[in-house]
C-alpha cells in the first residue's frame, strides 16, 4: 500500500507543477508581469550559484565563471529569476557526473554551457512545450519553453548550439545580428 500512496503523491506533485508551469506560461503570454526594472542578469546569475551549491557538489560539477561584463535588461525581476533558475536547472539536470558548467556574459549576451551527452531529438524542438530530452520522471518538459516565452516577451534572441560534448544556450539582444 505504501508504494501506491507514494506513486499517487508523486503523480499529484507532478500534476501540480505542470499546472503551475502552464499558468506561468499563460501569465507571461498575457504580459501579466508588470513590474519592470533594470536587472543585471550577470549579478543575478552569480547570486543564483549559491542556491545550487549543494547539487553542484553532489554531482561533482565544476563551475567556470566567465561573467565579465554586466548584461543589463529592463524586465520583471520575477521573470529574470525564473529564466535563470530554469537555465541553471537545465544545465545541471542534463550534465554528467564530473562535468562542467561555463557561465559567460557580455554587455549584449549571456551564455550558459554544460557538458552532456548527444541530443537525441531535433534541436529546433528543444524549446517546445512538453519536450523532454531526458527520461527524468520529475521533469514536466516546460522549463525551456518558459525560457523561450520570457525571451520572446522581452524581444531577446535565444540560441542553442552543441559542439560535442558542450551544449550552450545563449540569450542576446534581438537587434544584434551576430
Q: pLDDT tens digits for 102-157?
A: 999 999 999 999 999 887 766 565 656 555 555 555 554 677 888 899 899 999 99
Q: Which residue has the higher pLDDT, 1 or 122?
A: 1
Q: What is the pTM of this model?
A: 0.82
Judge whether residue 10 has pLDDT over 90.
no
- The reported pLDDT for the residue numbered 57 is 93
At 41-89, the pLDDT tens digits run: 999 999 999 999 999 999 999 999 999 999 999 999 999 999 999 999 9
- The reported pLDDT for the residue numbered 130 is 53
- The reported pLDDT for the residue numbered 139 is 54
109 contact partners, CB below 8 Å, separation of at least 6: 71, 170, 171, 172, 173, 176
DSSP for the chain, written as a single string: -HHHHHHHHHHHHHHHHHHHHHHHHHHHHTT-----EEEEHHHHHHHHGGGGHHHHHHTTPEEEEEE-S--EEEE-HHHHHHHHHHHHHHHHHT--TT-EEEEEE-SSEEEEEEE-----S-GGGTTSTT--SS--TT--S-HHHHHHHHHHHTTEEEEEEEETTEEEEEEEETT---
- The reported pLDDT for the residue numbered 178 is 45
- The reported pLDDT for the residue numbered 119 is 76
Stretch 166-174: mean pLDDT: 92
CA distance 60 to 153: 35
In contact, 146 and 21? CB cutoff 8 Å: yes
- The reported pLDDT for the residue numbered 34 is 81
Judge whether residue 93 has pLDDT over 50.
yes
In contact, 105 and 42? CB cutoff 8 Å: yes
Q: How far apart, in Å, are the Cα atoms of 21 and each of 14, 139, 157, 167?
A: 10, 11, 22, 24
Q: What is the mean pLDDT of the chain?
A: 84
Amino acid at each position: 500500500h505504501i508504494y501506491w500512496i507514494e506513486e499517487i503523491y508523486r503523480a499529484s506533485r507532478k500534476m501540480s507543477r505542470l499546472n503551475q508551469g502552464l499558468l506561468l506560461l499563460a501569465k507571461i503570454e498575457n504580459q501579466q508581469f508588470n513590474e519592470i526594472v533594470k536587472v543585471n542578469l550577470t549579478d543575478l546569475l552569480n547570486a543564483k550559484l549559491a542556491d545550487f551549491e549543494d547539487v553542484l557538489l553532489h554531482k561533482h560539477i565544476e563551475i567556470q565563471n566567465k561573467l565579465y561584463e554586466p548584461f543589463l535588461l529592463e524586465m520583471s525581476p520575477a521573470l529574470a529569476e525564473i529564466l535563470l533558475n530554469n537555465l541553471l536547472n537545465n544545465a545541471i539536470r542534463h550534465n554528467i557526473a564530473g562535468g562542467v558548467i561555463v557561465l559567460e556574459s557580455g554587455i549584449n549576451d549571456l551564455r550558459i554551457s554544460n557538458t552532456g551527452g548527444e541530443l537525441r531529438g531535433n534541436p529546433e524542438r528543444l524549446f517546445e512545450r512538453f519536450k523532454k530530452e531526458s527520461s527524468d520522471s520529475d521533469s514536466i518538459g516546460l522549463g525551456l519553453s518558459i525560457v523561450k516565452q520570457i525571451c520572446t516577451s522581452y524581444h531577446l534572441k535565444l540560441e542553442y548550439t552543441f559542439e560535442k560534448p558542450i551544449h550552450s544556450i545563449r540569450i542576446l539582444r534581438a537587434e544584434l545580428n551576430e
